[in-house]
C-alpha cells in the first residue's frame, strides 16, 4: 500500500470513529462527541451492508406506469474503490418514480429519528450517466414521515447551477433551505424523478456537515477490494417428477441442465398414491382402526434416477407439502411419507437412496392463520410435526430433514405488536422461524424478491435469518428465489363480519373451518379490511356450468355459516361493510378491480351481499418477468454478502420448469463472481 493510500485510509477511519450514534432523552438519534458533533455525520456510502451508518435503508417508491430501480454497484464509485447507488427511473405520463434513503430503522416499533441539530448542511455526491439528468429533492422529518411524504426542497439544479454532469459533484443544501423541518427529528431524503423518459444517476456519500467546506473523504481502494470467490452450488424445487422417471431422454436432459446451472441439490416431488380426495381437494382422514400408509410410485425407476443423479454429484431430497399437514389432525400423512422414504432407503443400494426429506407446507394459507390465537396453535402443531419428522430421520437414517418457511415470520405484526408468527415449544416462545432454525438440518427461506438491494430486497429480508443461524449453529440456510408468474385470479367474497364474532361462530359451529386452505376444492382467501374479515374463494378461469354452480353454492354456504348480511334493498349494514372492503382493495397493491357481486340462494330465498376482486401476483416477488441476465446480476449482488455467513448453503430456485424457460429465453452467459 502506498503512503497516500495509507494516510487516506487512516483519515477515513478517524472520521468514521467520530461519527458515534447516541440516543437522547426524546429517543432521537444524534451524532455525538465529547464536546461537539463531528465535522461529518456520514449517513450512507453504500459500501457495505444493506443498512446505512445510522441504521436506515434505501428503497424505491413507484406507481405504474412509471417505474424505478436501484442497486449498489461496484463499477462506479468515488475514490479508489467501494460502491455507489445507481438509480434508473422511467417516468411516464402516469404514476410516480422516486428513491428514498431513511435516517432511522423504520422497522422498529419506536421511531428514533435523527438529531442533526449540530449541523449546517446536507451533503451528497451525484453524477449522471449522460449528464443533464433532472430530479427533485425532498426531505422529511417525523411529522412528514407520519404523512408518508416529504417537503419539496426543489430541483437539483437549485444547488448545482451547472446541472448534473458525468463527473462527480457535491450537492450542498443549507438547513435554511428546508425550514421549517425539525432538525432534531430528521427522517429521510428522497430523489423524485419527474422528467419524462429514462434517467440514470449515481449517488454516493450522503451525510450532514458542520462546515460546508469540510471535505468528504474518498473511499480507499484497500478497504473495499473483494477477493475472487468460488461459485456456490444451488438447490432447486421440481414439482413434476414423472417425466424424469418415465422418459430416459428427459431425465438425462434434466441432469445436464442441473450441471450447467450448478444445481447440486434437487427437492423432488415424491410420487405417491393419492392422499387427497379428488372431489374436495382435502387430505383424507386417518382410516378408523388402522395405520395410514403411503406407497411410493415407480420405485425401480426412482432408484435408477437417484443413481444417475448421484453419478453427476447431485443430491436428491423427497419433496411434498400441503398447508393442512401443519395441523395435528393430519400429521399422520407427512409422518407416513417420512416413514415411506426411510423404508425405501433401507431397501435400496447406497447410490439409489434419497439424501433427505423436504416439506413445503405453508401453514399461513390456512383460514385459521388470520386469528392470532389460532395461529399460535397452528404454529405449535407445525413445529411439533417437524420435530417428530427430524427425530425419525435422525434416529432411523443418515438423511437430512428440511422445510420451507417465508422470510417474514419474525417481523412485527401491527395487530399485536409482536412477531407475526410466535410459537411456544418446550416452554420457550420465539418466532417460529427461529425455532425451525434451532432444531432442523436445513431451512429454505422463501426470500422471494427480484432485487438484491433496498429495504424490501433479498438482502434486507435474508440477512436477519442468516445472522440468527450463525449464532445458533444449527440449520443450514437456503435462500429461495421465485421464477413463476401467475395471471390475476378472480376471488368472490360474501360480505364478512368482525374478527372476534367470526371466531366465536366458527369455534361453536365449524371448528374444522380454521384448518382449511381449500373449500370444496376452491382455494380459500381471507381479506382483512381492518374492521372485518371476509372469507372467499378463488374462481379459476374456464369453469364448466357445474363447477360455476358449485362455486356459487359454496359461497352461499359460507355466508349462511357466518350469518352474513342478505342482499336486500336498504340493507345499510351490508353496504357499509362492503364499501369498507372495496376501499381496502382499492388501496392494496395485491388487489384490483373491486366490484359488487351478490350471491343468490339456490332455493330462491333472499341471497347474500358480496363483492369480487382480482388477486394479483406482485411483480416484485418473482424474476419470471425479468431476463436471466437481470436475475443473475441480482443474485450475484446478494450472494456477495450472503456468502459471508457460515450457515449459508446457497440460493434455492423455485422451480425447475419456469426457471428453465427463463434460462432458455436468452443465450446470455452467466455473470460469474469476481
Q: What is the pTM of this model?
A: 0.87
Between 285-294, 312-321, 420-429, 474-483, the lowest mean confidence (pLDDT) is in 285-294
Looking at residue 197, what is its pLDDT?
96
Q: What CATH code would you report for 8-214?
A: 2.60.120.430
pLDDT at 276: 46
Query: Is the confidence at residue 25, as pLDDT, over 60?
Result: no
Whether the domain at 8-214 and the domain at 234-486+619-664 fall into the same CATH topology? no
- Specify whether the CB–CB gap between 19 and 41 falls below 8 A: yes
Q: What is the pLDDT of residue 31?
A: 38
Domain ranges of the chain: 8-214, 234-486+619-664, 489-615
Could you tell me the pLDDT band of residue 28, with boundaries at 50, 70 and 90? very low
Model pLDDT, residue 520: 94
607/192: higher pLDDT = 192
Q: How far is 73 from 84, CA to CA, in rounded Å?
A: 6
Give me the mean pLDDT over the 407-414 stretch: 89
Report which of 94, 87, 92 is spatially closest to residue 68, judged by C-alpha positions: 87
Which pLDDT score is estimated for 222?
Answer: 53
According to DSSP, residue 22 is labeled E
Higher pLDDT among residues 9 and 623, named by residue: 623
From 446, 509, 436, select the one nearest 475 (Cα to Cα). 436
Residue 378 has pLDDT above 50, yes or no: yes
227 pLDDT more than 80: no
pLDDT band at 18 (very low <50, low <70, confident <90, very high): very low
Q: Residue 413: its pLDDT value, please?
A: 78
The model's pLDDT over 189-204, given as tens digits with 9 standing for 90+, comes to: 999 999 999 999 999 9
**Span 625-654, pLDDT tens digits:** 999 999 999 999 999 999 999 999 999 999
Does the pLDDT at position 70 exceed 60? yes
| pLDDT tens digits along 505-532 | 999 999 999 999 999 999 999 999 999 9
In whole angstroms, give the CA distance from residue 264 to residue 515: 36
Segment among 181-195, 305-319, 660-674 with least mean pLDDT: 660-674
DSSP assignment string, 627-638 = -HHHHHHHHHHH
Which of 122, 136, 97, 96 shows the shortest CA–CA distance to 187? 122
Chain segment 439-450, per-residue pLDDT in tens: 999 999 999 999
User: Which is more confidently placed, 333 or 2?
Assistant: 333
Mean pLDDT of 207-214: 95
Among 190, 193, 148, CA closest to 587: 148
C-alpha cell at 78: 468515488
Cell numbers linked to 280 = 374436495
405 has pLDDT over 50? yes
pLDDT of residue 316: 98
Q: What is the mean pLDDT of the chain?
A: 89
Mean pLDDT, rounded, for 467-477: 97
CA distance to 51, 52, 73, 224, 297, per residue, from 48 (Å): 8, 8, 11, 9, 50
Model confidence at 34, pLDDT cuts 50, 70, 90, reads very low
Say which CATH topology domain 234-486+619-664 has.
TIM Barrel (3.20.20)
Amino acid at each position: 500500500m502506498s503512503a497516500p493510500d495509507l494516510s487516506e485510509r487512516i483519515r477515513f477511519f478517524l472520521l468514521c470513529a467520530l461519527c458515534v450514534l447516541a440516543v437522547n432523552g426524546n429517543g432521537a438519534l444524534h451524532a455525538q462527541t465529547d464536546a461537539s458533533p463531528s465535522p461529518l455525520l456520514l449517513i450512507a456510502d453504500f459500501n457495505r451492508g444493506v443498512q446505512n451508518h445510522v441504521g436506515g435503508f434505501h428503497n424505491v417508491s413507484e406507481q405504474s406506469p412509471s417505474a424505478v430501480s436501484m442497486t449498489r454497484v461496484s463499477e462506479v464509485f468515488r475514490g479508489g474503490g467501494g460502491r455507489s447507488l445507481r438509480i434508473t427511473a422511467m417516468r411516464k405520463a402516469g404514476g410516480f418514480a422516486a428513491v428514498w434513503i431513511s435516517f432511522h430503522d423504520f422497522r422498529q416499533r419506536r421511531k428514533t429519528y435523527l438529531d442533526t441539530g449540530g449541523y449546517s448542511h446536507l451533503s451528497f455526491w451525484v453524477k449522471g450517466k449522460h449528464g443533464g439528468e433532472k430530479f427533485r429533492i425532498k426531505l422529511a422529518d417525523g411529522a412528514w414521515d407520519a404523512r408518508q411524504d416529504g417537503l419539496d426542497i426543489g430541483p437539483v439544479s437549485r444547488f448545482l447551477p451547472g446541472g448534473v454532469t458525468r463527473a462527480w459533484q457535491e450537492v450542498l443544501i443549507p438547513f435554511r433551505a428546508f425550514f421549517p423541518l425539525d432538525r432534531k427529528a430528521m427522517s429521510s431524503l428522497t430523489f423524485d424523478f419527474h422528467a419524462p423518459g429514462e434517467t440514470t444517476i449515481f449517488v454516493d456519500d450522503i451525510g450532514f456537515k458542520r462546515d460546508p467546506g469540510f471535505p468528504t473523504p474518498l473511499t480507499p481502494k484497500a478497504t473495499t477490494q473483494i477477493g475472487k470467490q468460488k461459485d456456490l452450488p444451488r438447490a432447486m424445487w421440481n414439482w413434476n417428477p414423472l417425466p424424469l422417471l418415465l422418459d430416459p431422454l428427459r431425465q438425462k436432459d434434466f441432469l445436464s441442465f442441473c450441471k450447467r446451472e450448478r444445481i447440486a441439490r434437487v427437492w423432488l416431488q415424491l410420487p405417491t398414491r393419492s392422499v387427497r380426495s379428488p372431489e374436495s381437494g382435502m387430505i383424507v382422514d386417518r382410516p378408523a382402526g388402522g395405520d395410514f400408509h403411503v406407497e411410493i410410485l415407480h420405485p425401480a425407476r426412482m432408484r435408477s434416477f437417484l443413481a444417475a443423479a448421484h453419478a453427476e454429484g447431485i443430491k436428491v431430497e423427497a419433496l411434498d407439502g400441503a398447508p393442512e399437514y401443519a395441523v395435528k389432525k393430519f400429521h399422520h400423512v407427512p409422518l407416513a411419507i417420512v416413514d415411506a422414504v426411510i423404508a425405501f432407503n433401507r431397501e435400496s443400494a447406497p447410490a439409489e437412496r434419497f439424501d433427505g426429506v423436504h416439506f413445503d407446507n405453508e401453514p399461513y394459507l390456512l383460514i385459521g392463520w388470520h386469528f392470532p390465537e389460532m395461529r399460535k396453535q397452528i404454529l405449535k402443531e407445525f413445529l411439533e410435526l417437524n420435530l417428530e419428522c427430524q427425530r425419525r430421520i435422525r434416529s432411523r437414517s443418515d438423511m437430512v430433514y428440511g422445510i420451507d418457511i417465508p422470510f417474514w415470520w419474525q417481523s412485527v405484526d401491527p395487530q399485536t405488536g409482536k412477531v407475526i408468527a410466535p410459537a411456544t415449544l418446550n416452554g420457550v416462545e420465539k418466532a417460529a422461524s427461529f425455532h425451525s432454525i434451532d432444531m432442523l438440518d436445513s431451512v429454505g427461506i422463501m426470500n422471494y424478491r427480484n432485487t438484491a438491494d433496498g429495504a424490501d430486497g433479498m438482502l434486507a429480508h435474508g440477512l436477519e435469518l442468516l445472522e440468527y443461524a450463525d449464532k445458533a449453529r444449527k440449520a443450514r440456510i437456503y435462500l429461495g428465489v421465485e421464477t413463476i408468474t401467475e395471471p390475476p385470479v378472480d376471488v368472490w367474497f360474501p360480505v364478512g363480519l368482525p374478527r372476534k364474532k367470526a371466531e366465536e361462530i366458527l369455534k361453536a359451529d365449524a371448528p374444522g373451518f380454521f384448518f382449511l386452505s381449500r373449500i370444496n376444492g376452491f382455494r380459500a382467501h381471507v381479506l382483512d379490511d381492518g374492521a372485518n374479515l371476509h372469507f372467499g374463494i378463488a374462481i379459476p378461469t374456464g369453469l364448466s356450468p357445474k363447477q360455476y354452480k358449485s362455486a356459487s353454492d359454496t359461497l352461499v354456504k359460507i355466508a349462511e355459516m357466518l350469518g352474513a348480511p342478505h342482499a336486500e334493498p336498504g340493507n345499510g349494514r351490508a353496504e357499509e361493510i362492503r364499501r369498507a372492503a372495496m376501499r381496502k382493495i382499492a388501496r392494496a397493491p395485491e388487489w384490483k378491480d373491486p366490484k359488487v357481486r351478490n350471491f343468490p340462494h339456490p332455493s330462491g330465498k333472499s341471497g347474500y351481499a358480496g363483492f369480487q376482486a382480482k388477486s394479483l401476483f406482485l411483480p416484485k416477488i418473482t424474476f419470471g418477468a425479468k431476463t436471466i441476465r437481470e436475475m443473475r446480476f441480482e443474485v450475484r449482488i446478494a450472494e456477495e454478502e450472503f456468502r459471508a455467513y457460515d450457515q449459508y448453503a446457497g440460493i434455492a430456485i423455485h422451480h425447475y420448469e419456469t426457471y428453465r424457460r427463463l434460462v432458455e429465453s436468452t443465450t446470455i452467459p452467466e455473470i460469474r463472481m469476481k
